[in-house]
Amino acid sequence: MANYDRRERVGEEIKKQLSQILPGLKELERPALFSVMSAEISGDFRLCKVGISTLGTKAETETFCRALQAMQGKIRHELGTRVKIHHTPELVFEPDDSIAHSVHISDVISKLNIPPAEPDMERDEEDI
């Protein structure tokens, strides 16, 4: 159980640091809005799957993940200077459609014709 807690803490720290590193990469062509959604560390701390979400299309997200993967060495080096662990894990960037999914859900909800709830006038003053 303690190893899982450590993996979770290291994953959160990697996610936090990547969120700071990626916007600073000048040679990286990136979408207008992207986010590091997750960082899952393997049991031996050698591999980290990083979930990347963009506001663009699925194809744009996949292209962005391939560009990140191509720059993995530089990103990993910068990460190694910020996160002090014995081995900096190999990074695997994967598309995560969380942002697009939540935008879709918001659109669906806004298109529903649900009238606003009317205030309950029969409530006793004691309930207030």
In the chain, where the domains are located: 2-97
Q: How confident is the model at residue 41 (pLDDT cuts 50, 70, 90)?
A: very high
pLDDT of residue 122: 60
Q: How confident is the model at residue 11 (pLDDT cuts 50, 70, 90)?
A: very high
DSSP state of 87: S
Q: How confident is the model at residue 111 (pLDDT cuts 50, 70, 90)?
A: confident
What's the whole-model pTM score? 0.74
Helix (H, G, I), strand (E, B) or coil at 10: helix
Angle at 109 between CA 103 and CA 113, to 5 degrees: 150
Q: How confident is the model at residue 32 (pLDDT cuts 50, 70, 90)?
A: confident
pLDDT of residue 106: 86
| pLDDT single digits (tens) 81-100 | 999 888 999 999 999 887 77
For the cut 90, the answer to whether the pLDDT of residue 123 exceeds it is no
Q: Report the chain's mean pLDDT, rounded to a whole number.
A: 86
List phi, psi (to 5°) of 111: -85, -10
For the cut 90, the answer to whether the pLDDT of residue 15 exceeds it is yes
Q: Could you say which of 3.50.50.60, 3.90.550.10, 3.40.1160.10, 3.30.300.20 is the CATH number of the domain covering 2-97? A: 3.30.300.20
| pLDDT single digits (tens) 62-76 | 999 999 999 999 999
How are beta strands 47-54 and 34-41 bridged, if at all? antiparallel
Contact 35, 99 (CB under 8 A): yes
Interacting residues of 49 by C-beta distance below 8 A, sequence separation 6+: 38, 39, 40, 92, 94
For the cut 90, the answer to whether the pLDDT of residue 127 exceeds it is no
